[in-house]
A and B are shown apart, each in its own frame.
Chain A
Amino acid sequence: MTRYEIRISGYGGQGVITLSKMIVTASSLYEGLAGTQTEAYSAAARGGKCWAEVVIDLDKDIKMIDYPKALEPYDFLIILSQEAAGDIKLNMVKKELNTGFLIWDNSAIQKFRAVKRIDNSLGIPIQKIAVEKFGNIVFGNTILFGVFTVLSGIFSEDSALETIKKFVPSSTLDKNLEAFELGKQQGLSFLKELKEAKA
């Protein structure tokens, strides 16, 4: 099994779909892995409950993802709204050593029962940091992209940086790179924590 299943849930406007496109761009376009991305359509993508899924095949020889939707249990789950958090069950993420990550926004979600019992779960006040430090909620995307790059390790940092250059307006590039670095640091310290906990 070399499929890497990713799901991002939140509400429309948070950048759920943009983040999913960044992930598939970095892995498929720059890293050369087969990948698919699907997203919520219609009104949901513009304010309602919104989701996006990405499937990447880590085997370089595979040319096409066989089944284009993300299959449970996921390798990577990102939850950005209270409503989305309510749907999460414990068996939705993989229970393996280096995968099965759950990232959630603890500035937007107050109650999250499942989170305590999922091993590789990390709460980051993404939206709070984005607004306080960078002045706009959309930077949350780049922070998360940084976290994802480090934790998943499915594409190189170079591919990630290329992707950011492709996606963000050039006037905000510096700020976005800063946000990416911040996310990366969050990810790295979380990995360190996990390592220590297991040692």
Chain B
Amino acid sequence: MSKINSKRFLSPGKHLMMGNVAMSEGALSAGLNYFGGYPITPSTEVIEHLAVRMPQVGGVCMQMEDELASINSVIGASLVGAKSMTATSGPGLSLMVETISMAANLEVPFVFCDVQRNGPGTGFVTEPHHNDIGLVRFSGNGEFQVIALAPMSCQELFDLTITAFNFAELYRCPVFILSDAYLGHLHEVVTIPPKEKILDRVIQRELPPPDEYIKKFTYKDDNTGKYVIPKPPQMGTDYCPGLLLHQPHNYEGLPTPKPMQFMEAIMDKINKNKDKICITESYKLKDADIIIIAYGLPVRASYRAVDIARKEGFKVGIFRLVTVWPFPDEEVMDVVKDAKAIIVPELNYTGYIAEQVERVTKLEIPIIKIPKVCEFHHPDDILKVIKEVAK
């Protein structure tokens, strides 16, 4: 491991910064070595900021000729041992899905920041809209699992980006950060921890000891029955996958005659580790009979609505999904088992997460969606629904 450049880390303490910049700084702290991207509103500040910062830390920030080249370069960089990421918005994501699914197949770790904007197609370029929640879940052909984290403040954009890089290293799957046009441009004070504290958290990209070289991809340990996810292979070293990268592989990286075994490995490495991947938060849930399930910025409007409603005597609480994918089925089931009603405020029309809640609760509890498009839930929007439900 080469020496870590101290310019990666901002001076510890408070900094006022934009969401996109906080995310970029989080990535730098997590050890980002390669950024490949193509500017698109509202994610442009990420590449602008990294174009300045990456050369300072001995990394590379590359503006490629388009989105396809960006994501392909990101995967390439990751395969030779660089921690890499890209940032884009919905239209860019839809162009990149082909490579995302290949990366999932090869178990190449990378982080993907999706600063979501209104769609479909071009949409309104400057408005927030959580409409890629479904697309990131199924971002490519074939079956694979992704991890998606939904921050709600600039501080979390910094912190969760480090978590995202760690997840990428540990689980070797596409890891998404679900930002949006509003959060990306929000200015807030971010408290940067001391360098040592950050380094304690960061999982570095390292080669395994040579005696572990034989296993290059996720496999099931015959003795324990658990999935073992080896460190990512690196081209240019002895620890390198086989040549036939485009087929389902066995743990040596060779084409496998057992596609089912391969499928189980890349799906269940996430499913069986949900307890470590699914980050959730509870707010005033203890005696709540009305439960709000939310993620991203609508959580903040919900906090306000709940505080007001509690003062008026309504028993309402919030279950927040920090990890949106994989969906924490068991936890949601446990939280809502005694609920009278569930409210799901989402910044989209479909209600991607409401659908998941419907699936988990088997429609036994009334679920009220509060869809919003391009503008945020006003706390009163949520409060109104709480009062209607409580009747």
Contacts and interface: CB of A to CB of B under 8 A. Distances in A.
A68 B186 contact: yes
Contacts of A67: 300-301, 303-304, 376, 378-379
Given A24-B187, A28-B16, A42-B41, A68 B297 contact: yes
A28 B191 CA distance: 11
Nearest to B155: A64
Interface residues of A, number: 20
Contacts of A39: 185, 187
Nearest to A166: B16
A173 interface: no
Contacts, number: 61
Contacts of B300: 64-68
Given A25-B16, A41-B42, A66 B186 contact: no
Interface string A8-25: 000000000000010011
A41 B16 contact: no
A39 B378 CA distance: 18
Nearest to B306: A66
Contacts of B272: none
A24, A35, A39, A67: which has the most chain B beta carbons within 10 Å?
A: A67
Contacts of B182: 38, 68
B81 to A, nearest CB: 37
Contacts of B125: 42
Interface string A27-50: 011000011111101100000000
B48 interface: no
Contacts of A41: 42, 126, 181, 185
How many chain B residues sit at the interface, stated as a range, is: 20 to 34
Interface in A45-85: 64-69, 71
Contacts of A37: 186-188
A66 B188 contact: no
B307 interface: yes
A159 to B, nearest CB: 13
Contact of A28 (B189, B297, B379): B189
Contacts of B187: 21, 24, 36-39
A24 B185 contact: no
A176 B172 CA distance: 53
A38 B301 contact: no
Interface of A: 21, 24-25, 28-29, 34-39, 41-42, 64-69, 71
16 contacts: A21-B187, A24-B187, A29-B189, A34-B189, A36-B186, A36-B188, A37-B186, A37-B188, A39-B185, A41-B42, A42-B126, A64-B155, A66-B303, A66-B379, A67-B376, A67-B378
Interface of B: 14-16, 41-42, 125-126, 153, 155, 181-182, 185-189, 297, 300-301, 303-304, 307, 376, 378-379
Given A38-B185, A38-B187, A67-B376, 19 more contacts: A21-B16, A21-B187, A25-B16, A35-B188, A36-B187, A37-B187, A38-B186, A39-B185, A41-B181, A42-B125, A42-B126, A66-B300, A66-B301, A66-B307, A67-B303, A67-B304, A67-B378, A68-B186, A68-B188
